Amino acid sequence: MQHGTGPGTGTGPGKRSSWRRHLIPVVLLTALLGVFCAIPMGNAVGLVTGEAVTAQVEGCAKEGKYNVCRGSWVFSDGSSGTGPINGVGGDDVGRAVDVWAVHDQATTSRLAWATTPALFGAILMALVIAVGVSRRARTRF
């Protein structure tokens, strides 16, 4: 037997080195985080930095599968914003509605922006717990 191989070393036949065994899950997790961080982070920023304003619903149109309503609003510092308004429909066109807004989007409910980051956090926490339980189970036996 060569020095440093065999049982207990993780490098014998059929064994991969420790860093290689963790490479694929780390790469996949990194890719998933990169893809999915954009959505919750944008919503979290809107949740924290948004401002309660009154928006004017200007119109609704079909964009892909969804009917999207757009409007404009003015912030307390005098600057304005325009973009999609979540939580309104075709019946709201021409009306003023109370919204929570950032420069390029608004919603009638802050809960809408809180849902995605909260769900993402719960999934990430479950993943961390699952990895911890899995590692603990492997070390016991």
Q: Two tokens at 67?
A: 């009917």
What's the pLDDT band for 13 if we cut at 50, 70, 90? low
At residue 103's C-alpha, the angle toward residues 115 and 76, to 5°, is 105
pLDDT > 90 fraction of the chain, expressed in percent and rounded: 27
| Mean pLDDT for the stretch of residues 39-43 | 54
Q: pLDDT tens digit string along 85-104?
A: 988 999 999 999 999 898 89
Query: What are the counts of helices (DSSP H) followed by strands (DSSP E) for the chain?
Result: 2, 5
Domains and CATH numbers, the chain: 49-110 (2.40.50)
User: Coil, strand, or helix at residue 109?
Assistant: coil
**pLDDT number for residue 34:** 65
- Categorize the per-residue pLDDT at 111 as very low, low, confident or very high, splitting at 50, 70 and 90: low
Distance CA 39, CA 105 (A): 13
The SS3 of residue 59 is strand
| Residue 110 or residue 64, greater confidence | 64
Q: Average pLDDT, stretch 72-84?
A: 95
Whether the Cβ atoms of residue 87 and residue 110 lie closer than 8 Å to each other: no
User: Are the C-beta atoms of 58 and 106 separated by less than 8 Å?
Assistant: no
Mean pLDDT in residue range 128-134: 77
Q: What angle do CA 45, 57, 62 make, to 5 degrees?
A: 85
Query: C-alpha angle with apex 31: 28 to 36, nearest 5 degrees?
Result: 120
- Nearest-angstrom CA–CA distance, 12 and 8: 9
Higher pLDDT, 26 or 75: 75
- Is residue 132 scored above 60 in pLDDT? yes
